[in-house]
Amino acid sequence: MASHLQDTDKKRFSTGFTVIVLIILVVVLSVLFLTINRRRGSDFSYTLSGSVNLTEWADGRPIILKDGWEFYPHLLLTPDMIHQSRQEDAREEYPYYKNVRISTDGWKDLGKNAELYSFGKPTKEMGSYGVGTYRIELLLDPDVDYMNLNFPSIGQAATIWINGKAARHYGVVSDNKGIYQSTQVSTNLQVEPTEDGRIEIVVLCANFSSPYGGILCSPCAASSTAIGVIEYSGRMFLTVLCAFWVFFLFGGYYISRTFASRSKLYFFLLMFLAEILYDIFAPTLSLLSGDWNMLIQTTLIILANYFSYLFYYSLYPRRTSKFFDAIRYVELSLFSMLTAFYLLTYWCFPNLLYLSSSVAVNLVLLFVTGAFNIFRVFYMARDFEHGRPLYMLSAPLVLLMHLAIFIRQEYYLYISFHAWLTLFLAVGYTIYFVVDYVRTYDKLSANNKSLADAVEEKTKYITRVNQDLLKNHEKLLENEEARKKVMSNVSHDLRTPITAIRGYIELMLNAKEPLSREQEVQYLSNMHTRSVQMEQLISDLVQLTRMESENDTIELMPISVKEMVGDLFQLYHAECEGTDKVITFTAPEDDDLIIDGDPKKLLRVFENIIVNAMKYTKDDGRIDITCHRYDDPAMLGGNAVEVLVKDNGVGIPANEVPYVFDRFYRAENSGINKTGSGLGLSIVKSVMDKHGGKIWAESEEGKGSEFHIVFKASSFSFDEEPEDEE
């Protein structure tokens, strides 16, 4: 529970951290965008002659030629034609606006200071857009040999005249509406002033139905280095963007492991590839000229848009939302068909690109796709948690990134808003994925470690269990072996008396002559002995089995060993009377030798040992029974009672002593005539084990045996009891 809480906290921290980093990134990039990416410069001033004064240009900064243009709307005029129209005997005069400001809206916004010069004639209907002729005259410091003139963007076909010479042609400038060969131009011109430091720039811009006709952004004049800086910064930015993308591609391979589906990575990379290529094909870089630029750029942005759709489409696995599952194929076919339709149309009819309506149509596609992406991400956010903050933030940003291609600014930026947003989004995604990847990696290694620990622990446990099993298996095998032995012994020991009894019965049945009373008694007494033997064996077996079963509990009570063994001694002493056998009993006079035990079972123990001693001694044998305190501190905690039964009988061969307590074990020398089951001592051993006592034998073959029976002494004393009763 605690570790679970910790995990959640960590996750929350990482997500919050990611969002903060992304926000900081937006702010930093925006500030950078607005400062670095701005063409610094100042407005120019006019000389008395009416030329734009660039003599202050000496500080090396570019000067923005924003104001002071002459504009002949909808007229394509060479410099000669303009000069002629201004002469007194001019056959034709062209109306023009003076002091025009160059703005993104072409001639519609001519600026506050614009004045119409129509030479007294009424103004013609000029048509729309910035189509027409632009003219400006610059006055340079006489020391300046040349300068650079930078037109960041001219819409469609243009011819630029410098000091009366046509310096550049872009597309076909014509007032023939059938000719649509046109482009968007960005150009740098190196211009040399006349001897008195003048430069006349005339730009003819012609196209007929484009939203972006004319000079779209005020040009700037500066030293070639200053212009170079602007241009190179743009190129460098794109280089960085490309490098970043390549880095992203390789990093993506590893990062992709954190993606739920691989396809979303491919769509993501394709989207950014298309976005970056779009910026590489920007007219400012003049990679391709003519119609191709416009066509390729439009194609790329439509593809980027489609990949962005596929990316968000692939984010969420099936069965996450019923709604999106239901429309899955409908939306996919719709967006695929729309994309195919747009691309096919533009590639078949590239001139449509220059229709003002195409801007609106493109805008609709980008907006609908972006809005759908946002809808999907916000709708699914409820059911699908992974990557929620990233996708909720990125979907609107992707829409913004696509719409940013329509953002045009007076201070035209070499690095477009679109490019900046692309970089920003790519960096943001990278940070997010790296954080996510690291987090997943951390989690995995933690899991791995705990898994390894668990495996180690389990392995240990299994090894232990295995060892136990092996032991048990061995024990079972031993038990099985013992059981077989018991069975064979039991059957043998039972069969022997039965065979004998049957023999006597057959003898009696088959007797040809009636048996004498003596014979009858003899046979019957033999049969009796045999049946007693059988009974003994069976009772031994029953007792042993019972003893070994867990259920056979012993009932402990204080017992005086001295008294119990003394009574038995009396019994067997009487039995020895009249024989040469001697039996003695020694016990301390002042000590009852109390132990805690089960009287019935203990009686059996003592009796068994004494009977064995009697059985395995010769007729003139001697048996000494001693009861005493056993004062060895190592024995049963140092407070023990021993019964020692010692005889001078046949003894037990040294190698057999350890086995006499085994079931059915009978020593080699136990004698054929001595009846016995070999169960007596194993019963004794069981009883002793249950009492927590000890029993062992010491013997020398031919000399005699000693049986030591040791119990823990009881804390109970009989002496105290009578006092209580009194």
Instruction: Label residue 175 exposed, middle or buried (CB < 10 Å: 0-12, 13-18, 19+).
Output: exposed
> Which residue, 255 or 660, is less far from ligand ADP as judged by CB?
660
Does 647 bind ligand ADP (CB under 6 A)? Our answer is yes
Nearer Cβ to ligand ADP, position 362 or 677? 677
Which of residues 218 and 677 has its CB atom nearest to ligand ADP in the complex?
677
Quick check: 541 binds ligand ADP (CB under 6 A)? no
487: tokens are 């069975």
Q: Does 621 bind ligand ADP (CB under 6 A)?
A: no
Smallest distance from the beta carbon of 725 to ligand ADP, in angstroms? 41
Query: Residue 423 in contact with residue 241, Cβ under 8 Å?
Result: yes
**Total residues at the site for ligand ADP (CB under 6 A)?**
21
Closest distance of CB 690 from ligand ADP, Å? 17
- Residue closer to ligand ADP, measured from CB, 209 or 533: 533
CB of 476 to ligand ADP, least distance (A): 24
In 3D, which of 428, 473, 437, 483 has the Cα closest to residue 259? Answer: 437
CB 204 within 8 A of CB 312: no
**Site map for ligand ADP, 241-270, x if CB under 6 A?**
------------------------------
The minimum distance between CB 617 and ligand ADP, in angstroms, equals 7
State yes or no: residue 623 binds ligand ADP (CB under 6 A).
no
Instruction: Give me 498's structure tokens.
Output: 């039965």
Q: Is 256 exposed, middle or buried (0-12, 13-18, 19+ CB in 10 A)?
A: middle
Closest CA to 113 of 76, 79, 66, 149: 66
Question: Residue 55: CB partners within 8 Å, gap ≥ 6?
Answer: 139, 140, 141
Question: In the bound complex, what is the minimum distance in angstroms from residue 645's beta carbon to ligand ADP?
Answer: 7
Does 677 bind ligand ADP (CB under 6 A)? Our answer is yes
Q: Indicate the residue among 350 and 649 with the shorter CB distance to ligand ADP.
A: 649
Spatial separation of the C-alpha atoms in residues 35 and 520, rounded to whole Å: 137
Nearer to ligand ADP, 201 or 681 (CB): 681
Q: How many residues belong to the chain?
A: 726
Nearest residue to ligand ADP, by Cβ distance, number only: 676
Are 94 and 82 a contacting pair, CB within 8 Å? yes
CA distance 667 to 513: 43
Pick the closest to residue 663 from 505, 531, 478 (CA basis).
Answer: 478
Q: Which is nearer to ligand ADP, 186 or 489 (CB)?
A: 489
Could you give the CA distance from residue 309 to residue 271 in angstroms, rounded to a whole number?
9
Nearer to ligand ADP, 68 or 678 (CB): 678
| Listed ranges 143-151, 225-233, 410-418, 658-666: which one lies at the site for ligand ADP (CB under 6 A) | 658-666
Binding-site member from 680, 693, 709, 711 for ligand ADP (CB under 6 A): 680
Q: How far apart are CA 668 and CA 652, in angstroms?
A: 8
**Is residue 62 involved in binding ligand ADP (CB under 6 A)?**
no
687 binds ligand ADP (CB under 6 A): no
User: Alpha carbon of 421 to those of 207, 276, 315, 425: distances in Å?
Assistant: 31, 10, 21, 6
> For ligand ADP, which residue of 159, 210, 422, 612 counts as binding (CB under 6 A)?
612
Neighbours of 75 (CB within 10 A): 20
Is 46 or 665 the residue whose CB approaches ligand ADP more closely?
665
Residue ranges in contact with ligand ADP by CB under 6 A: 608, 612-613, 616, 647, 649-652, 660, 665-667, 670, 676-681, 705
